[in-house]
Amino acid sequence: MADNPAISNPQSAIRNPKWIDLHTHSTISDGSMTPAELVAEARRVGLAAIALTDHDTCDGVAEFLAAGRAWEIETLAGVEVSIEFHGRTVHLLGYGIKADHERLRTVLAKLVVGRNERNAQIIRKLQMFGVRIELDEVVAFARESVIARPHIAQVLVRKGVVSSFEEAFDRYLGRGQPAYCERFRLEPEAAVALVREAGGLTVLAHPSFVGLPPEAFAARLERLKQAGLAGLEAYYPDHTEEDTRRFLDLARRFDLLVTGGTDFHGTIKPGVLLGWGRGSLRVPYALYERLCEALERARQTRTV
């Protein structure tokens, strides 16, 4: 994979211990570290490989991959997109994408427009409930191109409207709460096809968040597999040991890749450490190797 522009694979990459983090966010979406700072932090905590999966944007990928080469950490280009799946919002991680792929960037830009429209609606709803907040102050606080609900939550905390990030979602911003608004999302088949067209493979993020009983979840996972889903994020900070075992079993059942990551956002999501989650997460390097091998096979198939 050394010649794949979506992967930085320095020969002297640190591989002891062989732990990885394949789900991280930077300041380009809703994290508190720049793409380069993420890589430096991965080096500091001893990770062997890391993927950048910002929401609806790959604008940080070039900086991220360059930092991987500089810090001698294996880095993988990625993105996280939301899809509408049978009335539920599901997140897909796209790995190995070409960040300069024209149609990918066009569709992601459309998703960002949808986020911006929702942000304005959320602010209006908050104002209707007597919350003194303006969109301009959220934009100024975020300082980056993709403004999301976590930015609004942080501003609510800073203004003293709520006491914590979690309370902002529980009281106002979460699904079913007074200020929640829907936004434009891709259909599963469209998202999978888009990521594949851009050279990547898709993985279902934090499957426990789908919130379905086991058999119903398995049925929907099978339909996603039929649509082209390549993997399942079995290792995640909020998964119990039972959750992880169940998702590993489902990955074997449906012949899916297994991945894992912390969903790291830095100070925006306190208590979650890069690479280690809440302290006990360990995602083995072998999963990264299998993902890279699958990306290489897919690339060879497309060029035949």
Q: What is the pLDDT of residues 240-274, one digit of tens each?
A: 999 999 999 999 999 999 999 999 999 888 899 99
Residue 196 has φ and ψ, to the nearest 5°, of -65, -40
CA distances from 29 to 142, 169, 278, 288 (A): 9, 18, 22, 23
> Between β-strands 7-8 and 20-21, what pairing exists: parallel, antiparallel or unpaired?
unpaired
pLDDT of residue 17: 64
pLDDT of residue 11: 44
All domains of the chain in start order, with CATH:
7-108+185-303 (3.20.20.140), 112-173 (1.10.150.650)
Give the model's confidence band at 133: pLDDT under 50 very low, under 70 low, under 90 confident, else very high: very high
pLDDT of residue 268: 84
**pTM of full prediction above 0.95:** no
Q: What is the pLDDT of residues 21-60, one digit of tens each?
A: 999 999 998 899 999 999 999 999 999 999 999 999 999 9
pLDDT of residue 162: 94
pLDDT of residue 90: 87
Contact 8, 75 (CB under 8 A): yes
Mean pLDDT, residues 73-81: 97
pLDDT of residue 236: 97
